[in-house]
């Protein structure tokens, strides 16, 4: 676990930070190296300034790729080869320089073999690339829930469905704690159970006894219905005992996890429209 900084402050990394790679760059690199090696078998690089300039650009770009993708051995050879292009007089004959490029190519391929890559389906990439999409209003209203919104969507993209669900439940809990403060929850353990119990008690007392001004009786009825139905739908999979959230099973189908995410967003929007935002 490590502490990283985001636009909403420090947070603990709860899943591995994934190194983003682009397969097309790897393919382009090996193809261009092959072309350069083939060319140098027929041309003298030291007599072709334009070719030297082109190779410098390519090597600089490859060095950046190696740096970004954690390929230190290849990166070291690339920098050494690029430096040779800037030496006067030429340090080696053109065929030897071609061997430098051949060494880069072989090391590049070998070092890629030490990495384990995962593929995110294109249909899920949006959850990983833009976790705030369609969640901006909720994120801005409940900034403490921002990290869980991000992790919820990224976990879903990575097929970590149980983790995605637990993050979505925590997002809802942020909203319920806010609601609990508005309706006078005094339980020392605020959250799902405390707010739901208080809502039910207020509604059981009936409309004539209702005195809250922070939220209307009708809105509270609707929010309570949504919250209770979510608890009922997830009761066999999630434990809310003692104010704690715990996933009871890791067996969440993709469509179930996605439905929970959508239900979470709908509930939070419903809550935001019914509950006036407290002033800082």
Asked whether residue 119 is domain-assigned, the answer is no
In terms of domains, do 225 and 151 share one?
yes
Asked whether residue 280 is domain-assigned, the answer is no
In terms of domains, do 64 and 152 share one?
no
The answer to whether the beta carbons of residues 65 and 112 sit under 8 Å apart is no
**Considering just the CA atoms, what is the radius of gyration of the chain in Å?**
29
pLDDT of residue 189: 85
In terms of domains, do 190 and 230 share one?
yes
In terms of domains, do 144 and 231 share one?
yes
Query: Coil, strand or helix: which one is 218?
Result: helix
pLDDT of residue 24: 78
Could you give the CA distance from residue 235 to residue 224 in angstroms, rounded to a whole number? Answer: 16
The answer to whether the beta carbons of residues 235 and 139 sit under 8 Å apart is no
Q: Which domain holds residue 251?
A: 125-274
Q: b or e along 36-58 (b: 16 or more beta carbons within 10 Å of the residue's beta carbon)? A: bbebbeeeebbeeeebbeebeeb
In terms of domains, do 132 and 260 share one?
yes
pLDDT of residue 10: 36
As a dihedral over the C-alpha atoms of residue 85, residue 89, residue 93, residue 99, rounded to 10 degrees, the angle is -30
Q: 56, 91, 112: which is the final residue of a domain?
A: 112
Asked whether residue 12 is domain-assigned, the answer is no
Could you give the CA distance from residue 14 to residue 219 in angstroms, rounded to a whole number? Answer: 35
Residue closest to 78 by CA, chosen among 44, 95, 55:
55
The answer to whether the beta carbons of residues 217 and 168 sit under 8 Å apart is no
Q: Residue-wise pLDDT tens for the chain (280 aa)?
A: 333 333 333 333 333 445 566 677 788 888 888 888 888 878 888 888 888 898 899 899 899 889 888 899 999 999 999 999 999 898 998 889 989 999 999 999 999 889 888 888 888 999 999 999 999 999 999 999 999 999 999 999 999 988 898 899 889 999 999 999 999 999 888 888 889 899 999 999 999 999 998 899 999 999 998 888 877 666 556 655 545 555 655 567 888 889 889 999 999 999 999 987 765 4
Total of domains in the chain: 2
pLDDT of residue 8: 33
In terms of domains, do 88 and 135 share one?
no
pLDDT of residue 255: 87
């Amino acid at each position: 676990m490590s502490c990283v900084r985001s636009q909403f402050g420090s947070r603990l990394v709860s899943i591995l930070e994934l190194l983003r790679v682009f397969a097309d760059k790897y393919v382009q690199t090996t193809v261009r190296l092959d072309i350069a090696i083939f060319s140098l078998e027929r041309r003298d690089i030291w007599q072709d300034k334009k070719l030297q300039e082109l190779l410098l650009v390519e090597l600089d770009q490859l060095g950046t790729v190696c740096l970004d993708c954690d390929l230190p051995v290849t990166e070291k050879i690339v920098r050494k080869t690029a430096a040779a292009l800037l030496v006067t007089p030429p340090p080696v004959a053109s065929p030897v320089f071609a061997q430098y490029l051949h060494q880069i190519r072989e090391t590049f391929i070998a070092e890629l073999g030490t990495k384990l890559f995962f593929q995110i389906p294109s249909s899920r990439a949006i959850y990983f690339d833009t976790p705030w999409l369609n969640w901006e209003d909720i994120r801005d209203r409940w900034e403490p829930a921002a990290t869980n919104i991000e992790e919820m969507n990224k976990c879903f993209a990575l097929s970590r469905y149980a983790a995605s669900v637990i993050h979505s439940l925590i997002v809802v809990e942020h909203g319920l704690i806010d609601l609990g403060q508005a309706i006078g929850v005094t339980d020392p353990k605020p959250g799902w159970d405390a707010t739901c119990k208080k809502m039910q008690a207020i509604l059981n007392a009936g409309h004539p006894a209702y005195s809250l001004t922070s939220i209307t009786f009708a809105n509270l009825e609707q929010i309570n219905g949504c919250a209770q139905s979510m608890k009922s739908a997830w009761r066999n999979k999630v434990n809310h005992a003692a104010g704690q959230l715990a996933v009871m099973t890791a067996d969440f189908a993709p469509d179930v996890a996605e439905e929970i995410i959508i239900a979470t967003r709908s509930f939070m929007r419903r809550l935001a429209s019914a509950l006036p935002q407290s002033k800082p």
